[in-house]
Structure 1
């Protein structure tokens, strides 16, 4: 009996429960309009600039019944207007793709816009079903245009997974935004910005690219976890650098937003 109960709990957890790090009401920086932003726990990358490092470990977080999250979204629905909705971020939300299928399906039944903020490393059959059938928008984080740069920033190799993910989204014909963290002397180099523009210039589904200027607001979280913050010597961008980066990317993308 105990074994049967454990199996049933595993089934329930994988489909009807999401492991949530935190929830933000009235978010305005994670998709169009006013958003309910749900940050899921767990990520396979360990990006050097991560400002929420406490979302990286898969342990921790709090389990939420999907119907409870739907109820939270329904209470906020009057504030969403025509553009707003629910964004699921992380951590890496697609680690919980199976549960997100059920969650996004319920949101779509309630007429609520859905958005995924992802690093694009996961493209299994659960992710494909989620993307193709239930995700109105995908915000894809482009870490680096080079393999060495990707490994330096994330601790892992195979940047091509991101581009395979982008190609799948493009083939689906559904909307996508790109996000790019601008770090002086690391990712903010003209040759890298041009390379990204050239790579994506023919994509029809990309509505905009969001530049996220580098900041150090998450250092105290790294310290509290006992982790070394390896970008402590990196400086923040000047206004001129941000303007110059925006000017380069404007040659390739319909809209460039400083986030």
Structure 2
């Protein structure tokens, strides 16, 4: 039985896929997102260990809450633990539980096709609108091309996708960026939803606790008004 490394678990999640969900945040991520609110997930050797059976026992104990929602595997970057993820997805399928995979393009398509096939829904975090902006935002220019290749694969295979994009003042929460993002995504019929996520500072204490330099120290959260304006700009450009 494969052993996974888990950062944390949420038994009543409502923000990571449809319905009420059991959300598993897996350990390990090669990206270095400047807005990350869980930098303690980066270390692949951190967190706690669990077997697939142990994790499934906890998931099944919450079946009454999640039966109309499902299970979301997030991170970190869950595809860093491919075999564990594959086995958990298979176990959830046997239990007739809907599954979502929250990924970032950190792992190339060639390394994850089969796992994408196994999930019911892909939550795909688009870090930027090109490799340069992805490099600034995620410290990994390649994650943009990887994410777009994954999106192409989902389109070809009719795999449902929700797009996620973090709004940062003066970086992504601009009319130019939002129009570029809409132009990138507009051709894809597999996209069921686009979530624009407002940057917040609630995770700053983790950077301090880990004695890490926070690249956004002093930055302000994106307000509800700024988010609403961004959503209006994006919606206008995304109309098909």
Q: Shorter-chain TM-score: what band? A: over 0.9
TM (normalized to structure 2)?
A: 0.94
Identify the residue that residue 200 of structure 1 maps to in structure 2. 185
Deviation of 1:230 (Å): 1.1
Instruction: Report which of the two structures shows the higher radius of gyration computed on alpha carbons.
Output: 1
Identify the residue that residue 15 of structure 2 maps to in structure 1. 29
The farther-off stretch of 123-132 and 52-61 is 123-132
Confirm whether residue 147 of structure 1 aligns to residue 131 of structure 2.
Answer: yes
CA contact (8 A) 1:141 1:179 kept: yes
What secondary structure sits across from 2:122 in the alignment? strand
CA contact (8 A) 1:20 1:40 kept: yes
Deviation of 1:212 (Å): 0.9
Deviation sequence 1:217-252 (CA, Å, 0-9, x none): 111100111101111132222333212111122235
Q: 1:131 aligns with which of 116, 119, 127?
A: 116
Q: 1:177 aligns with which of 158, 162, 178?
A: 162
Unpaired runs of 5+ residues, structure 2, are none
Aligned ranges for residues 1-259 of structure 1 at < 5 Å? 12=1, 16-82=2-68, 84-123=69-108, 127-132=112-117, 134-158=118-142, 159-251=144-236, 253=238
Deviation sequence 1:144-197 (CA, Å, 0-9, x none): 113222111112222211111111111110110000110110111111111111
1:203 and 1:253 map into 2 onto residues whose CA distance is 11
What secondary structure sits across from 1:30 in the alignment? coil
What secondary structure sits across from 2:62 in the alignment? helix
What secondary structure sits across from 1:105 in the alignment? helix
Identify the residue that residue 6 of structure 1 maps to in structure 2. none
CA contact (8 A) 1:98 1:127 kept: no
Unpaired runs of 5+ residues, structure 1, are 1-11, 255-259
TM (normalized to structure 1)?
A: 0.87
CA contact (8 A) 2:135 2:141 kept: yes
1:73 and 1:24 map into 2 onto residues whose CA distance is 10
Deviation of 1:121 (Å): 2.5
Where has structure 1 moved over 4 Å in runs of 4 or more?
A: none
| Root mean square deviation, CA, Å | 1.5
